[in-house]
C-alpha cells in the first residue's frame, strides 16, 4: 500500500475537520443555552461527607455472682461426764450356816367364777312401708269448685249422670291433666268435669302421682 498517497487523501482530512467543527458547535450551544453554567454550579457545590460511626453492641451483662457456700456445722458431740463412784466397802466375811430345809405347802389357787352374759336381742328392722298404688282413689282436694250441671243436659232433660276421671298431679299438688275414663251418658258431662277439675288443688307430696275421682250429677242438686 502507498502510505504517502494515503496521507494525502483529501476525504480523510474532511472527516476530521467535520468532527472538530461538530465538537465546537456543541460547546457553543452549551454556552448559549446555559448548560455549561449549570454544570459548573453542580461542580462548585460543596460535597458533604457524613461519617457513620459503627454501632457497637451493648456489653454483655456481668455473670451472676456464685451462690454462697453453705457452711455445714458439724454437731458438737458432748462427752458425758462420768460421775465419781466411790469404791465399794468390803463387808466382813460371813459365816455360812447349813441351810434349813422346810417343806412349803403351796396354797390352791382361788376359783374364778365366770358369768356368761346373755346375747343381745336381735335387731328387728321395721317393716317396709307398703308401696303406693299406681292410681290413688279416694284423694281429697284442698281447694276447687264442683262441676256445674251443663245447660245442654238440662235442655235434654237428663236427670242424672256419672263421670270417672283420672287426674295427673305434680309435686306441688296442681292438676296438670284430666283424662275422662268413662262417662254415663257419654260426652254429656265431660266438658264440665274437665273444666272444673283442672282448677282443683291437692296437698303437695313432693312427687308426681295419678289420682282417680268419680263425679255424680243429679238434676235435683
Mean pLDDT for the stretch of residues 36-53: 58
pLDDT-derived band at 160, boundaries 50, 70, 90 = very high
More confident residue, 1 or 33: 33
More confident residue, 147 or 12: 147
Mean pLDDT for the stretch of residues 61-89: 70
pLDDT at 140 over 70: yes
What is the end-to-end Cα distance of the chain in Å, rounded?
162
State residue 122's pLDDT score: 83
Instruction: Give 40's Cβ-side CA count (13 Å radius).
Output: 6
More confident residue, 103 or 18: 18
pLDDT at 105 over 90: no
Tell whether domain 137-218 is in CATH 3.30.2420.10: yes
pLDDT-derived band at 103, boundaries 50, 70, 90 = low
pLDDT-derived band at 176, boundaries 50, 70, 90 = very high
User: The C-alpha cell of 200 is what?
Assistant: 282443683
| Cβ neighbourhood burial of 72 (10 Å; 0-12, 13-18, 19+) | exposed
Of 220, 216, 157, the C-alpha closest to 184 is: 216
Q: How far apart are CA 167 and CA 213, in angstroms?
A: 8
More confident residue, 114 or 170: 170
Of 163, 216, 160, the C-alpha closest to 191 is: 163
State residue 202's pLDDT score: 96
Q: How far apart are CA 78 and CA 181, in angstroms?
A: 101
Mean pLDDT for the stretch of residues 182-201: 94
Amino acid at each position: 500500500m502507498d502510505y504517502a498517497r494515503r496521507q494525502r487523501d483529501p476525504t480523510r482530512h474532511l472527516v476530521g475537520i467535520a468532527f472538530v467543527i461538530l465538537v465546537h458547535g456543541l460547546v457553543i450551544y452549551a454556552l448559549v443555552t446555559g448548560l455549561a453554567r449549570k454544570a459548573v454550579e453542580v461542580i462548585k457545590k460543596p460535597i458533604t461527607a457524613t461519617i457513620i460511626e459503627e454501632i457497637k453492641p451493648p456489653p454483655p451483662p456481668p455473670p451472676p455472682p456464685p451462690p454462697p457456700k453453705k457452711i455445714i456445722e458439724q454437731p458438737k458431740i458432748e462427752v458425758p461426764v462420768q460421775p465419781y463412784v466411790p469404791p465399794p466397802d468390803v463387808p466382813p466375811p460371813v459365816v455360812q450356816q447349813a441351810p434349813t430345809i422346810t417343806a412349803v405347802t403351796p396354797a390352791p389357787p382361788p376359783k374364778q367364777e365366770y358369768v356368761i352374759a346373755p346375747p343381745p336381742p336381735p335387731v328387728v328392722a321395721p317393716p317396709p312401708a307398703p308401696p303406693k298404688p299406681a292410681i290413688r282413689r279416694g284423694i281429697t282436694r284442698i281447694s276447687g269448685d264442683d262441676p256445674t250441671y251443663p245447660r245442654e243436659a238440662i235442655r235434654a232433660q237428663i236427670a242424672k249422670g256419672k263421670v270417672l276421671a283420672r287426674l295427673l298431679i305434680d309435686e306441688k299438688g296442681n292438676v296438670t291433666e284430666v283424662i275422662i275414663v268413662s262417662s254415663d251418658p257419654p260426652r254429656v258431662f265431660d266438658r264440665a268435669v274437665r273444666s272444673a277439675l283442672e282448677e282443683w288443688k291437692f296437698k303437695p307430696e313432693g312427687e308426681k302421682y295419678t289420682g282417680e275421682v268419680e263425679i255424680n250429677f243429679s238434676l235435683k242438686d
